Amino acid sequence: MKFFQRLGRSLMLPVAVLPVAAILSGIGYWILAATGNETNVVGGFFKIAGGALLDQLPLLFAIGVAIGMAKKPDGTSALAGLVSWLVVTNLLSPASVAIFKGVAEEDVNLAFSNVENVFVGILCGLIGAYSYDHFKDSELPDALAFFSGRRSVAIVAAGASLVLSLVLFFLWPLVFTGLVGFGEFILTLGPLGVGIYGFLNRMLIPLGLHHALNSVFWFDVAGINDLGNFLNATGTYGVTGQYMTGFFPVMMMGLPGAALAMYVTAKSSRRKVAAGVLFSSAIASFFVGVTEPLEFSFMFLAPGLYVVHALFTGISMAVSALLPVRMGFGFSGGFIDLVLGWVNPMAQNPWAIPLMGIFWFAVYFVVFRAIILKFDLKTPGRDEGDMLTDETAVLSGERKHLAAATAFLTALGGKDNITDLENCTTRLRMEVADTTLVDDGALKQAGAAGVVRPGGQSVQVIYGTSVQFVKDAMESIMTGRIDPADDAALEAEAEAEAEADGGAGTAVRTTHLVRLRQPMAGAVVPLSEVPDATFAQEIMGPGVAIEPTDGEVVAPAAGTVGHVFPTGHAVALVLEDGVELLIHVGVDTVTMQGEGFTTLVEPGQKVTAGTPLLRADLSAIRVAGHPAITPILVMNDKDAQIELV
């Protein structure tokens, strides 16, 4: 499952090119329509530029997947993906197949005329990534030393592509026939088939597999090519766009209606937090058609509600297919794409889409509100959480981490229940054998700030910047290198430490205002705008965020570097007044494995305001598909207020 989830994220890299194609094509069509001149040079210029990207989309998938699936990729993995694509597509071209079979080119199976598609591009990208991961450090004999290391990657990719070509030579006609058959079957169902596709599209999002389904209907895998035909205006008026139209009312209006329903049903004490998450996500859904932040806010908290959403999407798709309304997009079904596609020659009655959206806004709001209240679903803002505290004496250093690790293992159902254990900046990421054995309340009592269940067997425990030490202690206990902590011994040790200190305490702050120099250039935004619930809901602590315009991060005040993360994407500081600060560059950037980040300080190093801490390549972050927005959190004061000067 992890492979498919990672593949889904990798597919977003080439898909991110589609907005550019949509903008270029949209501007071109606007100009051509406004001038009434199909030969207008400026309009044609933009139209052709947009088409150039769409025509080479399979190649972009080969390169994008090669980058996204490789561990710590560089240009070598992209080159390997390109080499694989060139080998496979040339060996399986109709002209080549005609030679291999000894027949005339016009007698070659139609499947080979469609071999340059997204599916094959993904396979070539996987070959490129695999070749890079397994052969970038290879050493060859002295006589062949020139081809060692990264120079061998493209060679291996070419060899693997020969095998893939041989396999596809026999299997691709069967696969192609099956895909076409599935597409034709859906086509025979008419609007019902469109509705089934819409339902499956939403249901596959938690697995990240909806992109594979989309490729059958949006691209030229099975001969439908709904998206490409719409943007290029090469389809059939009144037909082209039917596999996209129904998304617009749901994404622009339906899901924001659901967000409003979740907001009004949230507990009064939690509405402010819920509003930050829900309304920012609703805005993204309306304008851009980016629905994942809003869908993931209730997908796992209320899975039954998500099924209702999938059903509504299917109904919207089916109804849109029944009506004389057609619209397409280059990226997603948001307001921007609606405006850009308004004058596309394939657009049919686009004015009806906002009216349909108003209907779906009301349906989502009424139905979601009723279901949430009826079944007491724990949507955002409806679960206060068991914020229990441990009143025993506090330990420090390794013994503290050992105590937390011991308690976590017990709350997670024991070491035998954990099948995979990793950590990122502030959380443990685990796969467990039995999720019913996981005790969320015990985890919070043991020091967890929150527990997230993404789905399947995955469990995430949000802890803090010292999570790496807790994870190391858990691994040591699980492998038998050290013994679990003994509660009585730990309590006695804590009391001894307190007596040794003579009752002396450290200086504490008397105000919750934390005034800092701005650590990065860019616009300061509320923490609620960060597209990650852990930050937006202040689970790790209060703070602010920055939409950076420059990748250099400097110390916002004098203090000591508490921790520098191995992947270089975050740094923790302990300021002179005792404030524990975390600066986290980007969202989910831990998955970049250090690519694009340069660390400039070491743990324990004294810094002053303005001391460079790290440098981040913002373009690399965005190319990898991650938001560059940077949270700045106070970790040890839940009432803190950060003021950047």
Q: Which positions are catalytic?
A: 424, 584
Give the closest residue to 7 by CA, choosing from 168, 133, 126: 126
Token pair, residue 563, equals 């921790």
- In what helix (H) or strand (E) does residue 559 lie, and over which residues does it extend? strand 559-564
Taking alpha carbons only, the member of 191, 482, 168, 188 closest to residue 323 is 191
What is the number of H-type helices and E-type strands within the chain? 24, 16
CA angle 61, 66, 71 (to 5 degrees): 145
Beta bridge partners of 420: 431
Q: What are the tokens at 534?
A: 């852990």
Q: How far apart are CA 510 and CA 579, in angstroms?
A: 12
CA dihedral 549, 550, 555, 557 (to 10 degrees): -40
In the DSSP assignment, the letter for residue 483 is: P
How many residues are listed for the chain in this entry? 645
H or E segment at 607?
strand 606-607
User: Pairing state of beta strands 612-616 and 641-644?
Assistant: unpaired
Residue among 578, 566, 519 at smallest CA distance from 544:
519
Q: Determine phi and psi for 460, rounding to 5 degrees.
A: -120, 130
| CA distances for 524 relative to 196, 363, 608, 642, angstroms | 43, 36, 22, 11
Q: Is 352 exposed, middle or buried (0-12, 13-18, 19+ CB in 10 A)?
A: middle
What CA–CA distance (Å, rounded) separates 209 from 212? 6
Count CA atoms within 13 Å of residue 2 on its CB side.
8
Sign of CA dihedral 414, 416, 418, 421: positive
Say which residue the tokens 């660390």 belong to: 599
Q: Rounded CA gap, 46 and 53, in Å?
A: 11
Contact status, residue 80 vs residue 132, Cβ threshold 8 Å? yes
**Residue 543: both structure tokens together:** 């703070």
Secondary structure class of 458 (helix, strand, coil):
strand
